[in-house]
Amino acid sequence: MKKLTFKDELQERYLLDNGLTECTFFNTKNKKPYTFVYAAYWHPCEIKHMMRDFAANSPLSYVRLGQKLESLGLCIEEDDNSWDLKNILIAIANNISMNAKPWKRGLSNIDKTVKEIYGTREDFKKELFETYKEELV
């Protein structure tokens, strides 16, 4: 079952059961509708480089992580208090799938899982805090 989230004369978007978004564009050059499925971004702008690779390479894991953070009261569009970067990084480290390959084919092109790269959630959390220390000030 999919849920309609937006519709006008140019496009329509549906939220799929798995959390991905299906978008269909109607106004194309060849006059045939064009449909694609993607993971809608939920992450804060400060961590866009890391998370966009994750969304592209492991979309279902990315969506599940976003749903988990939302259930923890984080990254909620209407709530400015839910965007504290420190709390978000802690929640990401505590809830990311250790078997996800978020950086495969991305800027760093690392074809390894989070567990293969960092070993433990604690080591991943330390790396996140070191990488984003300037944004945390």
Residue with tokens 């939220």: 15
Is residue 59 domain-shared with residue 8, that is, in the same domain?
no
Verdict on whether the full-model pTM lies above 0.75: yes
Residue 136 lies in a domain: no
Q: From CA 131, how far away is CA 82, in angstroms rounded?
A: 21
Give percent above pLDDT 70 in the chain: 96
Is residue 51 domain-shared with residue 113, that is, in the same domain?
yes
Q: Tokens for 128? A: 């996140």
Q: How confident is the model at residue 82 (pLDDT cuts 50, 70, 90)?
A: very high
Residue numbers of the domain that contains 94: 45-131
Q: From CA 99, how far away is CA 97, in angstroms rounded?
A: 5
- Side-chain-side CA neighbours of 136 within 13 Å: the count stands at 11
Q: From CA 12, how far away is CA 124, in angstroms rounded?
A: 38
